[in-house]
A and B are shown apart, each in its own frame.
Chain A
Amino acid sequence: MSSQLTPTVPATVAGTVRRPRTTRPRRRGGDARVAAFFLFPAAVGFVLFFLWPTVRGIWLSLTDFNLFGRGEFVGVDNYVDIAQDDLFWNSMLVTLYYVVLNIGFQTAIALGLAVLMQRLTTSLLVRICLLLPYLVANVVVALLWFWLLDFQIGIVNTALDWLGASRLAFFGSEDLAIPTIAFVNVWRHMGYTALLIFAGLQMIPPTVYEAASVDGASEWRTFWSITLPLLRPVLVLVLIITVTGSFQVFDTVAVTTGGGPVNASRVIQVYIVERAFERSDFGYASALSVVLFVILAVIAFAQNKWLRGGESDLA
């Protein structure tokens, strides 16, 4: 690398003392021009596809814009409509139900897996296996489970049959659609979440465990009195990532149930896309996504506050 750097000024005897000084005035004024050059492409991307759409999204939510013409400013009409929209409230309930199921099981299973890994093995192979579902596309996972859970010849229903239980229409029944979708996504994410928690576990000093072991603490006691409290900041972070992520579930639902049967699995993001692109209610869909945005921001803020995410018990 540096061997290819040909000095533009011949390195003469005078060089060594004076050159550092000549670079200093430029430094004091800052590298603003160079920085502008380096920042330019990313800044264009940021302004065009993050900043401007954020502003525009809020503006669109105050209009009755549709894909066929220009929208008129309608003030908060969309929001008033949302408050009276049964489909919206239904989609919020469905989403909430999904989030609670998904996060509850995902966090519990991932925590268990992470502790198992910490106590039993740090094998890379185990971690590689557990992460596998997370890396393939949601669509692939959805179709895979659509097949595994098929009513007629899916292996799970065949097994149920074999066990003497009755077959279940996992994606096809109103009661089971959301639990099934939640399960599929728990399966996809449990390894990833376990690895996040595992990384947190690795940061707990082994001396703490040694001390507990010397005091004769049981595994169970050690988990509740040491592992869990010391892990809290990591758990908060994992919860913020996973809760806000699972509020935005879309792919799995879109590919498997499409929101049905009836409205049983029409989660908020499916509803937004439907209003925007199938019914062309762009203004209304924008208002819905503002509502989603606000909910996510409040959740992230509240989690950080209540669970004292910034503090560690390790200090």
Chain B
Amino acid sequence: MSSATATPTPTATPTAKDRRSFSPGRVVAWAFLVLFILLTLFPFYWMLRTALSNNVALAANSANLLPADLTLGAFRRVLGLATLEEAQAQGGSGASLSFWLYLRNSLVVAVLVTVGQVFFSSMAAYAFARLRWRGRDVVFAFFLSALLVPPIFVALPNFLTIQSFGLLNTLPGIALPTMLMTPFAVYFMRQFFLGIPRELDEAAKIDGASHLRIFWRVIMPMSIAPITTLSLLQFIAAWNDYLWPLLVGQTEGSRVLTVALGVFRSQTPQGSPDWAGLMAATLIAAIPILVLYLLLARRIVNSIGFTGIK
């Protein structure tokens, strides 16, 4: 390590030390990094491998890296495509699962939350970033203070509110509390709006455009990138949420996927659960997020610095 050359190149960065790339320290460091990546990815592979297995054959091949008796049976069971006999022959419980319904419910809730929240929070952010009015900063600080309130704290009273609206066990009831705003969404959009040059809306204003028009025709089209990022983050959050939908959506018709997975797991017999079915269901629940991530990984990864370093 002491072999560092005394003539640093002007563009040298900590990562540009190619000349020493075969030192023992670096090999060990790479080994660690690869180990962690494997530790991260292997469980996902194992989920896929199990989902493609025949549940009966699973016990005998518990360590085989390939699917035990490769079959799509688990997926067919979960999606309700298998007959009762077929399901039981493969070690499924035969209990039917309205997976399509839960999938639809999750989709409806996540879309309602995302579209509503991003739009209404953007409107609020416009008021905080582009308009001048007395008390603006105080009101904004007030909005932000809601970030400190733990979700469980508002969950109990919100349950009563949703109940008094008669929206228990409905999808709008699940979506409503985060549909109109979250402090984070307002903050996120405001940060971006603050960076847009004032001349733009000044010019539009001189042309006689109303604020509504400036917001919709000038500011929003310029903000496609942060809107996409925010939508992604909030869609994922809404799709993955468990506690609130568990409290509010308890009937079959209002159950979302995460809650259904919990129910599915508690329904499987204690002795030998339908592991292949459970992993197939779990994988299906994760697929929309995995697909979104595949398509927009760069955007999500790059947004992490922003969400953390406020």
Residues of A within 8 A of B (CB): 1-2, 4-5, 7-9, 19-20, 23, 27, 30-32, 34-35, 37-39, 41-46, 48-54, 56-57, 60, 109, 112-113, 116-122, 124, 126-133, 135-140, 143-148, 150, 152-155, 158-159, 162, 187, 190-192, 195-196, 198-200, 202, 206, 209-210, 213-214, 216, 218-219, 234, 237-238, 241, 244, 248, 250-251, 254-255, 269, 272-273, 276-277, 282, 285-286, 289-290, 292-293, 296-297, 300
The reply to whether B40 and A130 form a contact with Cβ atoms under 8 Å apart is yes
CB of B41 within 8 Å of the partner chain: yes
The reply to whether B120 and A129 form a contact with Cβ atoms under 8 Å apart is no
What separation, in Å, do the CA atoms of A224 and B295 have in the docked complex?
39
The reply to whether B30 and A53 form a contact with Cβ atoms under 8 Å apart is no
CB of B44 within 8 Å of the partner chain: yes
Q: Which residues of the other chain, A, contact B44 by a CB distance below 8 angstroms?
A: 132, 144
- Assuming A2-B204, A126-B37, A192-B304, is B153 touching A42 (CB within 8 A)? no
| Chain B positions 145-165 with a Cβ under 8 Å from a chain A Cβ | 146, 148-154, 156-158, 160-161
User: 11 more A-B contacts (CB under 8 A) besides A146-B265, A269-B152?
Assistant: A37-B212, A41-B181, A124-B301, A138-B240, A140-B258, A209-B13, A209-B14, A286-B156, A292-B150, A293-B153, A296-B148
The reply to whether B33 and A117 form a contact with Cβ atoms under 8 Å apart is yes
- Assuming A2-B203, A45-B180, is B36 touching A130 (CB within 8 A)? yes
Q: Which residues of the other chain, A, contact B176 by a CB distance below 8 angstroms?
A: 49
CB of B85 within 8 Å of the partner chain: no
The reply to whether B2 and A113 form a contact with Cβ atoms under 8 Å apart is no
The reply to whether A130 and B123 form a contact with Cβ atoms under 8 Å apart is no
The reply to whether B282 and A155 form a contact with Cβ atoms under 8 Å apart is no
CB of B47 within 8 Å of the partner chain: yes
B 292-306 binary contact with A (CB < 8 Å = 1; else 0): 010001101100110
The reply to whether A139 and B305 form a contact with Cβ atoms under 8 Å apart is no
For A50, the closest partner residue in chain B by CB is B146
The reply to whether A135 and B293 form a contact with Cβ atoms under 8 Å apart is yes
CB of B221 within 8 Å of the partner chain: yes
- Assuming A49-B154, A292-B153, is B121 touching A42 (CB within 8 A)? yes
The reply to whether B153 and A289 form a contact with Cβ atoms under 8 Å apart is yes
Main secondary structure of the interface of A (DSSP, over half): helix
| Chain B positions 108-161 with a Cβ under 8 Å from a chain A Cβ | 120-121, 123-124, 126-127, 131-134, 136, 139, 143, 146, 148-154, 156-158, 160-161
- Of the A-B pairs whose beta carbons lie under 8 Å apart in the complex, a sample of 27, sorted by A's number, is A5-B217, A30-B131, A30-B134, A35-B127, A38-B124, A42-B124, A50-B146, A50-B154, A57-B153, A118-B15, A124-B297, A124-B301, A130-B40, A136-B290, A137-B258, A137-B285, A139-B240, A139-B242, A139-B261, A140-B258, A143-B265, A147-B46, A150-B275, A187-B39, A196-B308, A209-B14, A254-B243
- Assuming A42-B180, A143-B265, A214-B6, is B154 touching A54 (CB within 8 A)? yes
The reply to whether B63 and A158 form a contact with Cβ atoms under 8 Å apart is yes
What separation, in Å, do the CA atoms of A41 and B126 have in the docked complex?
13
CB of B84 within 8 Å of the partner chain: no
The reply to whether B37 and A206 form a contact with Cβ atoms under 8 Å apart is no
The reply to whether B152 and A38 form a contact with Cβ atoms under 8 Å apart is no
For B293, the closest partner residue in chain A by CB is A135
The reply to whether A136 and B123 form a contact with Cβ atoms under 8 Å apart is no
Q: Which of B124, B204, B239, B297 contacts A5 (CB 8 A)?
A: B204
The reply to whether A289 and B156 form a contact with Cβ atoms under 8 Å apart is yes
The reply to whether B215 and A38 form a contact with Cβ atoms under 8 Å apart is yes
A188 CB, nearest partner CB in chain B, Å = 10
Q: Which residues of the other chain, B, contact A154 by a CB distance below 8 angstroms?
A: 62
Q: Which of A30, A42, A250, A290 contacts B181 (CB 8 A)?
A: A42
What separation, in Å, do the CA atoms of A174 and B289 have in the docked complex?
34
- Assuming A118-B14, A118-B15, is B278 touching A251 (CB within 8 A)? no
Q: Which residues of the other chain, A, contact B180 by a CB distance below 8 angstroms?
A: 41-42, 44-46, 48-49
Q: Which of A5, A60, A162 contacts B213 (CB 8 A)?
A: A5
- Assuming A127-B301, A282-B156, A289-B156, is B59 touching A218 (CB within 8 A)? no
What separation, in Å, do the CA atoms of A73 and B306 have in the docked complex?
44
Q: Which residues of the other chain, A, contact B89 by a CB distance below 8 angstroms?
A: none
A180 CB, nearest partner CB in chain B, Å = 14
The reply to whether A159 and B208 form a contact with Cβ atoms under 8 Å apart is no
What separation, in Å, do the CA atoms of A143 and B123 have in the docked complex?
39
- Assuming A4-B217, A56-B157, A118-B15, is B278 touching A143 (CB within 8 A)? yes
The reply to whether A300 and B148 form a contact with Cβ atoms under 8 Å apart is yes
List of 4 A-B pairs having minimum Cβ-Cβ separation, nearest first: A45-B180, A199-B305, A42-B124, A53-B157
